[in-house]
């Protein structure tokens, strides 16, 4: 490719990036962490409580049952994906006025895509590097955002 064509493509990419920057106000790292902690207390903790004390006979049964632990994570993932696909927000995200949207269209994502984003989040959180990538990116996207082609923005609620 000629240098002139490469330069033209580079200018086009810069214009696209500039348009995205103007289109979205990206959520801060701190707000995303606060939203996650809020969601863990409002959604995941009650799920674990019900499984541990209503379905099973206490914490010893829960700790010894891998099925119970997996079902808790799966149920949380399903609820999380339902909320994201419906409104783009979980209770924690709503509290801190942030929203998960499609990178290109800015619309809510589908249930399947939201669930895959949750699975990618589990991987991202396991490796930890995936969560901290956003500290080095201008668009504050994490590994699971990159995989799911989503962005977390400030909402106008």
**pLDDT tens digits for 113-142?**
999 999 999 999 898 888 889 888 888 899
pLDDT at 6 over 90: no
- pLDDT given for residue 22 in this prediction: 57
Higher pLDDT, 7 or 143: 143
- pLDDT given for residue 3 in this prediction: 61
All structural domains of the chain with their residue ranges: 26-154
**Cα four-point dihedral sign 24, 156, 111, 134:** positive
pLDDT at 20 over 60: no
Q: Which of 13-27, 58-72, 85-99, 121-135 has the lowest mean pLDDT?
A: 13-27
Burial class (CB in 10 A: 0-12, 13-18, 19+), 100: buried
* 117 Cβ contact partners less than 8 Å away, ≥ 6 residues apart: 81, 84, 100, 109, 144, 145, 147, 148, 150
| pLDDT tier, 105 (very low <50, low <70, confident <90, very high otherwise) | confident
* CB of 66 closer than 8 Å to CB of 88: no
Residue pLDDT, tens place only, 138-156: 888 999 999 999 999 998 7
């Amino acid at each position: 490719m000629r240098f002139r064509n490469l330069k033209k493509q580079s200018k086009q990419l810069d214009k696209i990036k500039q348009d995205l920057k103007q289109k979205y106000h990206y959520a801060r790292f701190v707000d995303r962490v606060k939203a996650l902690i809020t969601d863990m207390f409002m959604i995941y903790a009650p799920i674990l409580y019900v499984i541990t004390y209503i379905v099973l006979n206490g914490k010893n049964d829960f700790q010894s049952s891998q099925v119970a632990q997996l079902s808790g994570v799966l149920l949380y993932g399903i609820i999380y994906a339902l909320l994201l696909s419906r409104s783009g927000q979980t209770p924690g995200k709503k509290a801190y006025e942030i929203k998960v949207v499609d990178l290109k269209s800015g619309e809510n994502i589908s249930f399947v895509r939201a669930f895959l984003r949750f699975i990618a989040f589990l991987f991202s959180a396991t490796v930890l590097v995936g969560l901290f990538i956003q500290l080095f990116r201008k668009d504050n996207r994490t590994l699971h955002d990159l995989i799911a082609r989503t962005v977390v923005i400030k909402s106008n609620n």
